[in-house]
Structure 1
Amino acid sequence: MSAPRSQLPALVLALAACTHDPGHGAEGNDDARDSSDEAVMTFGASDESSAGTPEDGESGTDDSPADTDAESADTDSTDTDSTDTDSADTGQPCTETTPGPPTDESYAFELGGQLAWSHDAGSPAGWFHTYDALDLGLPGPETPVSAPHKVHLLLPRDYDACGPGYPVVYMNDGSSSFWQGGSANKTWDVPGALSSLYAEGLLDAVIVVAVEPNDRDYEYSHTPWTGDLDPETCCAVEDYADYLADDLRAFVDAHYNTLGDPEHTAIVGSSRGGLGAFFVANDRPDVFGHAGCMSSSFWLGLDPVFGGDFEGGALADSLLVALLGETLADPDVRPQLWIDWGLIRTGGFHNEVIEEAATTRGIEMVGLLEQEYGYALGEALFGFEDPEGEHDEDSWGRRFPDVMLAFFE
């Protein structure tokens, strides 16, 4: 197994105190949405066509972010940042504006017909936009996939609306990507990780899109994991892959300065979210060129981690590989993969059982990809064993910088 390209020192997982309450969630924004007295800045077109058609121990969908107190939404004195540089495409002066630019106070604004909050915790990595209920207007009956999602974006501190564009990293389980949240009340502290990489000149700036699931088991799974689940209704990761690739990405690319090609688009997740990242990227390699799969639940449908009549078997014969095998076998289209696991087995069920299963199947997956599908370690595939790794956000956040360097250095 290859070591990561760079071993950075352990990060101090403490985000600078916000000027807002990061635990204040959708309730406050609902209040603001109903208030006719608040000034809401508008950026971009509101045409809907622009939007496009605890178990595993990490964070769930707890409300996390932006300060949504209507009293803090002071937008009257806030102007957009505009840039007057030549457009690379037309040779004409660029007139794009920075949506929801950072200010000392959080405030509400509208972009593409969607209400968002701009808030700045002072991180050198950038500032944040939070959509409490990003509604892409998807057709058909509402499901956990098609329903509005809470979505957070981390925009680079020197975000340039007229520049060449930024790579985009999509993250599953987005409630703990930037702040403490979820069932474990821990964080990856992605802003802290990126701040260190930027300060050392190791990574160009990226946009991070952290997506909170409505039902993580449903959205990240391809097959039942307990004996009482119906395989016809339990799992919709294929729908989730299309939601990210076709709908959410369309909104992000339409309203932010992104590099939209697979080479500059990654998805990252852990545990069940790591399985989801693996599936999404291999199901839609036309969009996602990289997948960071940490402590992933490759055991799903094979091992009785949560009970049920599962008899094991080889990953090579699993439904997961059967569904994605065509992509895995094609070097011209398959995404670059990071697969890792941790070796700590003390501290409870999540380390003793879930991380143990993630380790066994992670090792097996790396071997399968290398031996049967011809992946080259250190190039198309990175496998990493963390001797101090646990099944928690602290460990995943500590490894996050190496994932970024593997994909974008």
Structure 2
Amino acid sequence: MAEPFTIGGQNGWFHDQGHWAGYFHTYNNFEVNNIDGKTRTIHVFLPRDYEYSNEYYPVIYMNDGDTAFFSGGNYCKSWNVGDVLSRLYVTNQICRVIVVAICPVDRDYEYTHAPMKDGNWGGLETYSDYVALEIKDFIDDNYRTLHTPQNSMVLGASHGGLAAFYTAVKHPNKFGCIAALSPSFWVGLDSIIDSCFLDLSRDLLGSLEYSALLSVAETTLGNPQLQPRVYLDWGLIREGGYHNSYIEARATVRGREMRDLLINKFGYRYGENLFIFEDPIGQHSEESWSGRMEMVLQNFFAWPVLMKHLLTQSATR
């Protein structure tokens, strides 16, 4: 059953795919002030009790929204986030959340900030502004959200993980939580030369510390009042094709480098504002990222964590 509606000047439609955790508001031609000159599809996944509760909810802004709940993308795969949330809700492991799944229009361009040897690149600054200043403002204005940075996450994997990290550190007044799975921190460093010339275990093409990414991130990461909580992970499987043997290998090397920078340069602390997982059976795939989602959500939205940040929210409303 699909029912059309208009909210905040945007035309959308309600549909229910039978997930125990919730149902969808989908906007097929979403635009506000049109910062990036595009319209796009956005799926807003609302808790099942949203219509009759008076609660306010944390929000996850998820890149690669075309694969978050439905099979899509280049490989027609899905994270199956609706099933993940249903399992966590049934066992009362996390609070209810709103998920805003943002579908890309030109993925390589929108999710990269620095040169790539092949493909379009360079649209991440504009995309991050679009997410922070248009999509988040629309969601906060039209849905019952816990809108403070401490209750607002950007999440993604691979290039989407890079885009999540970049968006949050560029807009710390909007987002205080980052989940970057198998993140492409290697873009702009290891992406400008053919992989056959690389020693995959080392950072031969420059330090992440002096990269374009860290030049954007340094002000936020260096200020304890602005520092987001950060989850990073990567998989350790190297067989099964180029995505594992090269891309996940680079995600591992640069992820470890980012971990060390966060701890040694910016004062991050394991288990407090930094969460790291090396997945021994992890691959560069939606199946692996979906399998780690329960851990991601428990680190940020388990009930004790929620209560701490509800106090922060109530003090600012």
Which TM-score applies when normalising by structure 2? 0.89
Is 2:18 aligned against 1:122? yes
Please report how far the alpha carbon of residue 160 of structure 1 lies from its aligned counterpart in structure 2 after TM superposition: 4.2
Q: Which residue of the partner structure matches residue 55 of structure 1?
A: none
Please report how far the alpha carbon of residue 146 of structure 1 lies from its aligned counterpart in structure 2 after TM superposition: 3.2
What are the residue-to-residue correspondences of 1:194-273 with 2, within 5 Å? 194-226=85-117, 234-273=121-160
What is the CA deviation profile of residues 253-274 of structure 1, one whole-angstrom value per residue up to 9, with x for unaligned ones? 1211111111110010000000
What are the residue-to-residue correspondences of 1:351-370 with 2, within 5 Å? 351-370=244-263
Distance in 2, Cα, partners of 1:136 & 1:211: 14
Unaligned runs of at least 5 residues, structure 1 = 1-104, 140-144
Is 2:75 aligned against 1:188? no
Secondary structure of the 2:205 match is: coil
8 A Cα contact 2:33 2:134, kept in partner:
no
Please report how far the alpha carbon of residue 203 of structure 1 lies from its aligned counterpart in structure 2 after TM superposition: 0.6
Please report how far the alpha carbon of residue 216 of structure 1 lies from its aligned counterpart in structure 2 after TM superposition: 1.4
Distance in 2, Cα, partners of 1:349 & 1:306: 15
8 A Cα contact 1:179 1:189, kept in partner:
yes
- RMSD of aligned C-alpha atoms? 1.8
Given the alignment, which residue of 262, 268, 282 partners 1:389?
282
Distance in 1, Cα, partners of 2:24 & 2:96: 14
What are the residue-to-residue correspondences of 1:24-39 with 2, within 5 Å? none
Distance in 1, Cα, partners of 2:237 & 2:110: 28
Distance in 1, Cα, partners of 2:69 & 2:118: 35
Q: Which residue of the partner structure matches residue 76 of structure 1?
A: none
Secondary structure of the 2:25 match is: strand
Q: Which residue of the partner structure matches residue 276 of structure 1?
A: 163
Distance in 2, Cα, partners of 1:356 & 1:288: 28
What is the CA deviation profile of residues 151-201 of structure 1, one whole-angstrom value per residue up to 9, with x for unaligned ones? 001100011466231000000010000011111111111111111111111
What is the CA deviation profile of residues 210-250 of structure 1, one whole-angstrom value per residue up to 9, with x for unaligned ones? 00111112211111121787xxxx41212212111111112
Distance in 1, Cα, partners of 2:193 & 2:58: 37
Secondary structure of the 1:285 match is: coil
8 A Cα contact 2:64 2:101, kept in partner:
yes
Higher-Rg member (1/2): 1
Percent same amino acid among aligned pairs?
43
Distance in 2, Cα, partners of 1:301 & 1:197: 37
Q: Which residue of the partner structure matches residue 207 of structure 2?
A: 314
Q: Which residue of the partner structure matches residue 147 of structure 1?
A: 38
Q: Which residue of the partner structure matches residue 112 of structure 1?
A: 8
Distance in 2, Cα, partners of 1:187 & 1:256: 26
Q: Which residue of the partner structure matches residue 346 of structure 1?
A: 239
Q: Give the helix-richer structure, 1 or 2.
A: 2
Please report how far the alpha carbon of residue 107 of structure 1 lies from its aligned counterpart in structure 2 after TM superposition: 2.1
Please report how far the alpha carbon of residue 382 of structure 1 lies from its aligned counterpart in structure 2 after TM superposition: 0.7
Which TM-score applies when normalising by structure 1? 0.69
Distance in 1, Cα, partners of 2:54 & 2:37: 32
Letter in structure 2 aligned against 1:275: L
Q: Number of residues paired by the alignment?
A: 296
